[in-house]
Structure 1
């Protein structure tokens, strides 16, 4: 589905306050200002979507080394703006950027919540199990046992 005419996708990150708000309002885990600032400056590429009033309503980013490893992260669209091609347009723009700038054989990964699974499968992503295992580790706060 193409992006609805009431929206524009922009290269680059949204403002920090919008990044933090989008995470919470689209049911991603909340992050601190410092975490958000790191996400905005530490991403390999970023896209966000604005509506006709220039409100930020969607976003997505790629974390990576720019050579062979790329992680799709923070694909988020405000609930009132879902179903209009926003998430797909963001993902397509990020994948196009990877295709344009990465060498052949680049490895693109993501972790998806169940509602997003169809969006990713439509673009060729496949489940890595049982051949591989997806894992994560949340680092404890300093001084916490």
Structure 2
């Protein structure tokens, strides 16, 4: 891992967020929605290189009491494979372990093959007892 990477506990601006999502191959989002989302994060972590370019991020969202969700784990392709996803997850889990409510439910939706990363942090598949579902507006 590059020692020149800054780890910040701050959500990126909406335009940076959308650019990182696109670069990392995640689905597009609306800029107005992105602005609201960044402002309403419970916790966010960003990784920036020596020129302060956003190279990775992750967020915790939820109600802050019973339910938390990990979202937006993204690393620019030219920085992937160097442990930055693991660093992001470590920061998010450290936050949750320190500030999360005892007995709270922490969920995420894992893209394959990223599920192997999340397993290292104790996440388990919900099936066959339950399955993830979604509806896009």
- The TM-score, its normalising length taken from structure 1, stands at 0.90
Counterparts of 1:80 and 1:64, CA distance in 2: 30
Q: Which runs of 4+ in 1 moved over 3 A?
A: none
Pairwise CA RMSD: 1.1
Counterparts of 2:117 and 2:2, CA distance in 1: 16
Q: What are the Cα deviations for residues 50-92 of structure 1, in whole angstroms up to 9, with x where unaligned?
A: 0112111001101111112000000000000011111111111
Larger Rg: 1
Aligned length in residues: 137
Matches within 5 A, 1:47-86: 47-86=45-84
Q: Which residue number corresponds to residue 118 of structure 2? A: 120
Structure 1 residues not aligned, in runs of 5+: 140-145
Structure 2 residues not aligned, in runs of 5+: none
Counterparts of 1:20 and 1:138, CA distance in 2: 18
Matches within 5 A, 1:96-115: 96-115=94-113
